[in-house]
Structure 1
Amino acid sequence: MSKVKAIMPDSLPASGAQPSNYSYGVLAGDTLHIAGMVSFASDGSIVGEGDVEAQIEQAFTNMKAVVEAAGGTMDNIVQTTTYLVHTTDAPKVSEARHRWFTGPVPPTHTVVGVAALGRPAFLVEIEATAYLG
């Protein structure tokens, strides 16, 4: 059986994960499962209230922190799912993906429209899987 390890970067607020009892990332063998990243700042505040582009950037910044804490880079991301309160914001996510995923193989991507996310201020949440082998 593979070793399973929680990945909890110091740059993400423990207070964001503790109430719901989850890890920001779980490394299982060579596979890193990254929880839905939202626009939490390190102090637990929300970056970019009302500004989906700022929230997208913070979500990717947080994703990068998780993958790097596990020993990888954004080039190791192989799959993403983006949850959007307003699917009309999908092109803004695509623009950001071009900046954040610059490796030779872009990760897969699924966009899901949702009525709401975990907090009313969140407009976007992005989860991912990375292969670190």
Structure 2
Amino acid sequence: MSAVMPAQLPPGPAERTVYSYGVRAGDQLHISGMVAFDSDANIVGEGDIEAQAEQVFKNLQAVVEEAGGTINNIVSTTTYLADVTDAPVVNAARSRYFTGEVLPTHTVIGVAALARPQFLVEISAVAYLGDLSKD
């Protein structure tokens, strides 16, 4: 196993709460729940679900690329929303990132709160980094 910690993501939150942004185990990459942090740990788009969703997908992409894959290697996502009526906005952002022939699975969960009250969306994912041409 190996930790995946892209330079585009702030190390502080992961260090303080004892986690890796991604963990590669063989051909699988497990990606922690991504929130709307920029590289300096500032929250992008406070109060703006569209801006937060865009940042979350950029962060997911950064982790999978650091591990040697692309966004199209993601096979499964779980989306946590503080307000499930924001789902169409998150889905619109999702459609800009996931454009491959096989789209990842998708689970949406409404939650009472995320780690900080400013966060509106959090998305975790699993990616397959093996040879896709053989599958």
Q: TM-score, normalised by structure 1?
A: 0.97
The match for 1:74 is 71
The match for 2:31 is 34
Letter in 2 for 1:25: G
Q: CA deviation at 1:94?
A: 1.2
**C-alpha distance in 2 between matches for 1:93 and 1:45:** 20
| Aligned pairs (5 A) from 1:107-126 | 107-126=104-123
Q: Does 1:61 align with 2:58?
A: yes
Indicate the SS of the match to 1:33: strand
Q: CA deviation at 1:93?
A: 1.3
Q: Does 1:99 align with 2:99?
A: no
Identity of aligned residues (%): 66
Question: Structure 1: any 5+ residue segments left out of the alignment?
Answer: none
The match for 1:43 is 40
Q: Is this contact kept in 1: 2:49–2:90, CA < 8 A?
A: no
**C-alpha distance in 1 between matches for 2:44 and 2:94:** 19
Q: CA RMSD in A?
A: 0.5
Indicate the SS of the match to 1:92: helix
Q: TM-score, normalised by structure 2?
A: 0.95
Question: Which consecutive aligned stretches of 4+ in structure 1 deviate over 3 angstroms post-superposition?
Answer: none
Question: Structure 2: any 5+ residue segments left out of the alignment?
Answer: 131-135
**C-alpha distance in 2 between matches for 1:14 and 1:74:** 22
